[in-house]
Amino acid sequence: MTAQLFPKLDANQIIDTRDAVHAYAQVLGDWRASCLPHRKHWWEITVSPSIRGLTTGLINAGIDFELELDFSADRLRGQVAGGGELNEALAGRPAGELTEIVESFLIDNGIDRKFIPEDKKRESYARSTASYSTDIAQDLAGALRSVVLL
């Protein structure tokens, strides 16, 4: 059995990046919530760890798609079955801007408009402008990966 290595995280230095990552994850969670039926304890809004960061997993909403926060490459990635791809930088962008990018991408690729998240759900993170460090985001993703692999 190999020991999992955890990156060194300074609790005072990760605050802004943690808040930005949380806001970015809320963007993905809103899409899951708008496309999936309600489940006990709001499990339909959860994102899952991926090798690179966080993912919605595969979602069917008239189209099959997946969204991922790729912290290793500092990207928001999206794929639609049939070929549509999204690849946008994360750093320096407020979560509200990512919301618009994802919405435009999915509409352009044929998602049924009934699945678009309601605007009122977005208010809590749309104004997020937290300072974001790519290095700290990668360390947070590494720590999450290590916890999941325990």
Helical spans, DSSP H, in the chain = 15-35, 95-108, 119-126, 134-148
What is the C-alpha separation between 121 and 111, in angstroms, rounded? 19
Measure the CA–CA gap between 127 and 6, rounded to whole angstroms: 31
What is the pTM assigned to this prediction?
0.86
10-24, 65-79, 118-132: the lowest-pLDDT one: 118-132
Distance of alpha carbon 18 from alpha carbon 10, whole angstroms: 11
Residues with Cβ within 8 Å of 135's Cβ and at least 6 positions away in sequence, in order, are none
Averaged pLDDT score across all residues of the chain: 85
Helix 15-35 to helix 119-126 angle (10° resolution) is 170
Instruction: Return the pLDDT at 116.
Output: 86
Q: Is 113 helix (H, G, I), strand (E, B) or coil?
A: helix
